[in-house]
Structure 1
């Protein structure tokens, strides 16, 4: 890893410039605290893992605006808390919507939706976006989402730490969300379904 300053303010400045090494340092410093906060509020390790991942995805996506953050620890705590509360508020409607989405993929629901062409187009967009990821991010993402490997297994396979794997996957998700941001509005429910799976 390149020489990265210890000053949080300087790290945030580098992060705002898109420095991935600065992001990884921040990720490694704050992951445990963000996860613990989410776990305390959600009382669920799996939900806490999802929320922590979302917090750092947001951090990367909004990095340009973070140079002025005075206390990163407080910022991350508030972000985690707000995401937990938001998830609780939306849980019922999301679960209902998920059941609808899944029903659209069932054979008995095939006649109710005509999304085959859009699904193929979405898959092409996703695969193209994945191919544009940096090699390590791409490999970690594919092993996680396509091979079903856990972070610990990927870390062993790739010879890096578990935290580094989490960092790779967070950045990969942020890049894919950006790539899909302009996907045709007619396929919004497909994109939503994809990210419901992607966030886990």
Structure 2
């Protein structure tokens, strides 16, 4: 019996599978802390561990009908979360390498060497200036000061979740602004500059 699901938890899973939100809250409360500790050991990041736990439980809720077939929920939870955590780490590593390459290539050029680069940076500054004040502050603290979500939250008095939403919104706004205002030839030239050495 030790490696199988307990009868009371099986009942809870069946309720969740049937769409019972209260039962889902109970399931989350019973497992999220232990799961967070497990994921922290893998990622060595409290921030990433929290995101993985939230993503995993969201995934469980979205595919809740499959819970009726689960025989060992804890093992199921740990396997799903470990896979998700490793995928997140791989994605993060790729993004860091990609960002570093872009920064190194951009740093190797000056606006005098390529006027299109000056246009890009000018549009970037303009896009940041167009952000709402609080969103702009959060974006600059993250991208320029390299602060983490929790550090920004402490400095601004915002919740961590709000900081995350502001950053996502700012990134989307800046990308849209630059894409809609930059000359297509500039995009091609910038793409050549940044990715020709890949």
Q: TM-score range by the shorter chain?
A: 0.3 to 0.5
Structure-2-length-normalised TM-score: 0.48
Larger Rg: 2
Higher relative contact order, chain-length normalized (CA < 8 Å, sep 6+) = 1
